[in-house]
A and B are shown apart, each in its own frame.
Chain A
Amino acid sequence: MKYTILLIEDNEQNLYLETFLLEQNGFEVFAAKSGPEGIALATKIQLDLILLDIQLPLMDGYAVARELRQNQALKDVPVVAVTSYAMVGDRERVLEAGCNGYIEKPINPDTFKNEIEKYLKPKPVNGGTKS
């Protein structure tokens, strides 16, 4: 059974890149282009991980993370920020908002899979491998 990942990313190219990369690595990917859209999707689907951009329209990643953490049904789903915010303190801010991890953009396609796998709970059957 595949891992299901929700990708909240507003940039068209990056959304495509990450979706492609994750799907190629055997993940089931749902995509949302804004925070509210992502939160709405998350409540409907059984998710294993949420990858969250920080700079988003309407509602920024921090607010999204806080809301996800307050949602009783979603609070156990790991959230990893994938962001271009790479200044001093950005990592801390992200973690403070409730994220479980922080990956700095640009991502390294060679190591990206390994990085996100740290946040996935083991699946009983055949999880997270190439189909």
Chain B
Amino acid sequence: MKRSAAAIYRIDRFTILLTGLWILLSVRLLDILLPDPVARLRWYPAKGWIFTLAGLLFVFLPASITSADQVVRVGIYQNSPKVSMSASGQPEGIFVDLIEAIAEREGWSLKYVPGTWPEGLDRLAAGEIDLMPDVAYTRQRAEIYAFHSEPVLSDWFQIYVRRGSGIRSLLDLTGKRVAVLERSIQQAAFEQAHIGFDLGVKIVSFQDYANTFRALEQGRVDAVICHRFHGTRHAREYDIEETAIIFSPTRLFFAAPKSGNPAMLEAIDKNLARFKKDSNSIYYRSLRRWTSEDVKAGISTWLQGAGIAAAGLLLFSFFWGFVLKRQIASRTRDLALRNEQLQAVCAQMKHTEQMMRESELKHRTLFETANDAIMLMRRGRFVDCNARTLTMFGCSREQIIGAPPYKFSPPTQPDGRCSEEKAAEKINKAVAEGPQFFEWEHCRGDGTPFAAEVSLNRLELGEEMLLQAIVRDITGRKRVEEALRATQAGLERRVVERTAELASAKERAESADRVKSAFLATMSHELRTPLNSIIGFTGLLLQGLAGPLNVEQTKQLHMVKASGQHLLDLINDVLDISKIEAGQIEIVNATFDLTESVRKVVHTVTPLADRKQLPLIMQIAPEISQINSDRRRVEQILLNLLSNAIKFTEKGKVTLTVDIVPGTRQIPHAACRISVADTGPGIKREDLAKLFLPFRQLDTGLTRQHEGTGLGLAICKRLAERLGGAITVESEWGKGSTFQFTLPIHRGGKL
């Protein structure tokens, strides 16, 4: 369907002009034909109007004459009341009114290209049309199309649903089918609006709004996203209702191809600005016309048809109604402005409400999914609680709501106080002083008590005072604490017991030690007293003080003396080893010449070796000189080792070697090594371990062949250890033994 508005205007203006000329001629003719001045006088007022009309026509005439031939192709699609094609095939709507008014001013020739919304967008992109009305500005679109800057209309999207569908909020749309205009900004805007909520909405696209509403009414979709202009005007034609869900305010423009003529967009801006300033301009008239419901699209046709008659009628009442009209126009403009403001406020309120709903949902979720029981109290009684409360207390919501806290507590608390009194006290404190935090014994529905941690917080909702109680079940924690306490108490008890046992053991040991010492002292004394006589008298007799002895008597008395001496040695050795083991032995360290000591001991034992005709070989390394140790004890050990070697060796030799060895693991510093090697019977491997035990003289035969107490080596080993050294033995059965006595040169490694 093609139509040139400018052409129609030209024809209409021309007709009016001709009609005006005809009227003027007729009036002149009447003047001529009516010679009666009275009759002529009655015509004068009419003549004035006729001239006014004629003048007006002349004012409009130049516009028609100066109109140029620029053709502007405008896309038309069904989006009443902003733009649509009427039932009679005429383009109409707010955008059509405006572009026609602009075209008339700018002398454009408009050519309408009808189609669907998507077709229009395609054509615009392809440059097949010059303007597409009612295009919401978005950044993406601005990359494809050119927009003028003065918005034509402000708009927003609203969701429409079937009457009685129950859809009230954005979240109610979960899983629903939502209709949108194909390739509109609605889909993106809608997704923007429910960010953060995975609604799972199914989007269904339609070519125009009429189809979306029809589909909604027929149940093919559950909701429609529609802009306010169309919705306000057409929703009531269907059995549908609007919801409070609105979003995405937009500004609507004419869009031009990116490659289009910028002057055209500038002209649109210029004219829009001018229209918006004048409340009686086509802009406001069009808005009023298309936003009130009952205006029929056919009016303009009728108006055109009855143009001349209406003009006459209008002129007739022009002077009467002029002032009144101005007032009405002013009032209407005010109202329109007020209306716009109200709509904006309303939209803002709806948006806020939506935000509040979402916020409430979030808090509700937090409240319900918390792991602590959260309850609200008013005047000491529960008025609300979360789901955890029910599981924690094992009660139904009905049992909890309206009940006071002490109903869920045993009659008394662990401190013996009455639960009811103590609860009231805590509540009063929370109200008067602020948050309270304390442990409390609660009990579940079945009466089982449990330990809880309670926090009471005062909340003021308006003028109402509420108390929030957060209850945490600390049964598990208490159990662990209890177990820890029990373990600790057990440990402490055991430490005390053990300490007592040790003290008692120490006491017993000390007591035993005292008894042992006393026993040893007594034994020593009691043995020495008779030994004194035995050894003493034997000595007297052998000295001949009691008279001369024959050879046999002398020999036998020597045996008595040796036995007495042996007994005395035994007593001395037992005392020695006891002293060493009791740590009573006194070590007196001093620096002395080891070579000298060795020579002295060798000198002492040489008569024994000589008696058995045993060579006693002494090899002392030249670097051996001063050492720091207990001289008497060193000599005692050396004497013992050499005596043993001589005593047990019948043939061969005894070799004494003294040299220096580097530090070992046992003795970390350089040490003297005194080796005594003999060619005696040697020691069996199995006997080596027993060698240093007390009373272990190893015999080769059934009878003891050698004198000695059997304590010597045991004493030597212990003494050597007290001196920081060691005694070891190497032996081969039948070939001899080597005892090595290692001794630190300086005690404690000091130089």
Contacts and interface: CB of A to CB of B under 8 A. Distances in A.
Given A20-B545, A21-B545, A106 B536 contact: yes
Contacts of B517: 87
B545 A84 contact: no
Contacts of B605: none
A55 B543 CA distance: 29
Interface string A7-31: 0000101100110110010000000
A57 B649 CA distance: 50
Contacts of A108: 535, 539
A86 interface: yes
B564 interface: yes
Interface in B436-480: none
B534 A84 contact: no
B528 A86 contact: yes
A119 interface: no
Interface string B530-564: 11111111011001011000000000000000001
Contacts of A14: 529, 532-533, 536
Contact of B539 (A13, A84, A86, A109): A109
A110 B521 contact: no
A88 B584 contact: yes
Contacts of A95: none
A105 interface: yes
B509 to A, nearest CB: 19
A20 B540 contact: yes
Nearest to A18: B536
A84 B536 contact: no
Decide if the interface of chain B is mainly helix, strand, loop or mixed: helix
Interface string B510-523: 00000001001100
Decide if the interface of chain A is mainly helix, strand, loop or mixed: loop
Interface in A74-131: 84-88, 104-110
Interface in B655-701: none
A105 B528 contact: yes
B545 A13 contact: no
A17 B528 contact: no
B568 interface: yes
Which bracket fits the contact residues of B? 20 to 34
Given A14-B533, A20-B545, A105-B529, A84 B540 contact: no
Given A106-B531, A109-B539, A84 B524 contact: yes
Nearest to B585: A88
Contacts of B536: 14, 17-18, 21, 106-107, 109
Contacts of A104: 528
Interface in B571-594: 575, 579, 584, 586
A106 B528 contact: yes
A105 B537 contact: no
A84 B525 contact: yes
Contacts of A105: 528-529, 531-532
Contacts of A106: 528, 531-536, 564, 568
Nearest to B527: A84
A64 B116 CA distance: 144
Contacts of B564: 106
Interface of B: 517, 520-521, 524-526, 528-537, 539-540, 543, 545-546, 564, 568, 575, 579, 584, 586
Given A13-B533, A108-B535, 12 more contacts: A11-B529, A14-B533, A14-B536, A17-B540, A20-B546, A21-B540, A84-B528, A85-B525, A86-B525, A105-B528, A106-B533, A106-B536
